[in-house]
Amino acid sequence: MQRMIEIDSPFFLKAEELAAPVDWTALFGNANPLALEIGCGIGDFIVRTAADNPGINYIAIDFYNKGCYKTCRRIENEGLANVRVVRDEARKFIAERIPKGSLAAVHINCPDPWPKKRHRKRRLVNREFAAFIREYLSPGGNFYFATDFDDYGLDVAEMMAGVPGFENMLAPDRYRHELEGYHLSKYMQKFMAEGKRIYFVHYRKASGG
Q: 103-109 and 57-62 as β-strands: parallel, antiparallel, unpaired?
A: unpaired
52 is an active site residue: no
Phi, psi for residue 76 in degrees, rounded to 5 = -65, -45
Do 163 and 131 touch, CB atoms closer than 8 A? yes
| Cα 60 from Cα 17, distance rounded (Å) | 16
- Helix/strand/coil percentages in the chain, nearest 5: 35, 20, 45
CA angle in degrees (0–180, nearest 5) for 102-61-23: 35
Catalytic residue among 112, 148, 150, 151: 112
Q: Which residues are catalytic?
A: 112
